[in-house]
Amino acid sequence: MSSAPVRSPTLRPHRMKKDESFLGKLGGTLARKKKAKEVSDLQEEGKNAINAPMNPSTMDIHPEDTLLEENEERTMIDPNSKEDPKFKELIKVLIDWINDVLVEERIIVKQLEEDLYDGQVLQKLLEKLADRKLNVAEVTQSEIGQKQKLQTVLEAVHDLLRPHGWTIKWNVDSIHGKNLISILHLLVALAMHFRAPIRLPEHASVQVVVVRKREGLLQTAHVTEELTTTTEMMMGRFERDAFDTLFDHAPDKLSVVKKSLITFVNKHLNKLNLEVTELETQFADGVYLVLLMGLLEDYFVPLHNFYLTPESFDQKVHNVSFAFELMQDGGLKKPKARPEGCTVSCVYSFLFCVFTHSRWQKLTAVGVSVLVLCMGPAFLVRKTVILEELLLQKVLWVTAVHMLGGSVFFSVNWVVNAS
């Protein structure tokens, strides 16, 4: 029986060499491709480095911002610029102001571009500031409806701002497109026009990246967008009086003016057993201003016409508005400031205007106060009797001022016409 033949071991090493040769060729091809890609990337990086000074761009552009038509451009805020303290302060001040104005509407704004783009908040804000009702739908979900509402709101805004020289830096598309720059320009203009009781940071600006499409290629450029200037320049679109300048440039001189005004108002309010020590706080709710106008014009203001102890912002605004009406009835010009935005400077201006009224400066008054207790229904008395048999041109003035329970406080004054 013969044994099986033994296979030659020389064939296997020959196949291994062939396999190794194939892998080596494949690896060499991949290596050459990798080196070629590295060279290409290096060339592209060098090209970008050369072109960088002519086309600076330090931010990542969102893909949707590159979908532009020919000659179309789009602006974006540089992310680094958003950390600027003045820029952040400007946004915070404007958000707080909007929330204060719309507190009765129970509207809370947290992010300007997300909360204002559809026109709903802007509508409520303008209606509150301008004290007018806009003919728009209350709630709109469709893009067309939102843009129609924005168009109506912005047209009303433009009617208010254009006569004062404001440059319009916003439109329906930019607001609805959540362009924060346009929204900030709009809010700053509204705040300045309505003399909002806020202080905007001066010289607030932001770096903006402008992306343009020219001949099928995207071009970017950095520009500085100025959002606010100085308070004087922004308020220069409106007539500033001496007290605005006094507050800004000579606050140390205010004490002299304040002392004179306090002496003047106390000369009259003391007839009602009232005394003023701080003009800024005690005249802020309009109560003393209403009473002062009644004293100067020699009439009693019925208590149902104003709030003697205002508890809400709306009640204070009502008092100040009513006082403005009384000032006009007394021959004074209508105050330029709005009751909603009555600042400390405005209070001084109103009182100084009243103080310098020539007709009231000719009156000299001596007051005697008596307290009358009565039980039963409260009643108001206004009675003027000419006492010609006692003293020529003297007037007896009986006025009910305060009612606490069954107590009625009367002030009896003899007003002598010194002219």
**What was the pLDDT predicted at 96?**
93
Which of 45-49, 274-278, 319-323, 406-410 is predicted with the least confidence, judged by mean pLDDT? 406-410
Coil/strand/helix, residue 367: strand
Asked if residue 26 belongs to a domain, the reply is no
Helix (H) / strand (E) element for 38: namely helix 11-51
Query: Which among 120-124, 225-229, 333-337 has the top mean pLDDT?
Result: 120-124
**What was the pLDDT predicted at 47?**
53
| Average pLDDT, integer, range 1-18 | 49
| Alpha helical stretches, state H, 52-142 | 85-101, 112-116, 120-130
Alpha-carbon span 396 to 389, nearest angstrom: 12
Q: Are residues 254 and 357 in the same domain?
A: yes
CA angle 82, 88, 93 (to 5 degrees): 150
| Average pLDDT, integer, range 134-150 | 85
Q: Are residues 295 and 373 in the same domain?
A: yes
Does residue 180 surpass a pLDDT of 80? yes
pLDDT tens for residues 330-370? 787 766 666 655 666 677 777 877 777 645 554 433 332 32
Q: Are residues 173 and 282 in the same domain?
A: no
Asked if residue 298 belongs to a domain, the reply is yes
What CATH number does the domain containing 387 carry? 1.10.418.10
Instruction: Residue 144: count other Cβ atoms within 10 Å of its Cβ.
Output: 8
Does residue 95 surpass a pLDDT of 90? yes
**What was the pLDDT predicted at 92?**
93
β-partners of residue 414 are 366, 396
Q: Are residues 182 and 260 in the same domain?
A: no
Q: Are residues 131 and 201 in the same domain?
A: yes
Does residue 134 surpass a pLDDT of 70? yes
Q: Are residues 360 and 264 in the same domain?
A: yes
Sign of the CA dihedral with 329 first, then 330, 331, and 337 last = negative
Q: Are residues 251 and 197 in the same domain?
A: no
- Which of 130, 94, 127, 129 is closest to 138 using CA atoms? 127
Does residue 395 surpass a pLDDT of 60? no
Asked if residue 280 belongs to a domain, the reply is yes
Q: Are residues 168 and 258 in the same domain?
A: no
Asked if residue 303 belongs to a domain, the reply is yes
pTM here is 0.47
pLDDT tens for residues 37-56? 665 665 565 555 444 444 44
> Domain count of the chain?
2
| Average pLDDT, integer, range 308-325 | 85
**What was the pLDDT predicted at 195?**
78
Asked if residue 329 belongs to a domain, the reply is yes
- Which of 289, 195, 292 is closest to 241 using CA atoms? 195
Q: Are residues 270 and 395 in the same domain?
A: yes
Which of 246-255, 256-265, 370-379 is predicted with the least confidence, judged by mean pLDDT? 370-379
| Average pLDDT, integer, range 310-322 | 85
Asked if residue 272 belongs to a domain, the reply is yes
Query: Which among 233-237, 316-320, 410-414 has the top mean pLDDT?
Result: 316-320
Q: Are residues 178 and 249 in the same domain?
A: no
Q: Are residues 258 and 340 in the same domain?
A: yes
Q: Are residues 411 and 280 in the same domain?
A: yes
Write phi, then psi, for 369 (nearest 5 degrees).
-110, 140
CA distances 353 to 114, 241, 289, 324, Å, are 44, 11, 12, 12
Asked if residue 73 belongs to a domain, the reply is no
Which residues form the domain of 408?
A: 242-417
pLDDT bucket at 122, cuts 50 / 70 / 90? very high
| Alpha helical stretches, state H, 283-403 | 287-297, 313-329, 344-355, 358-361
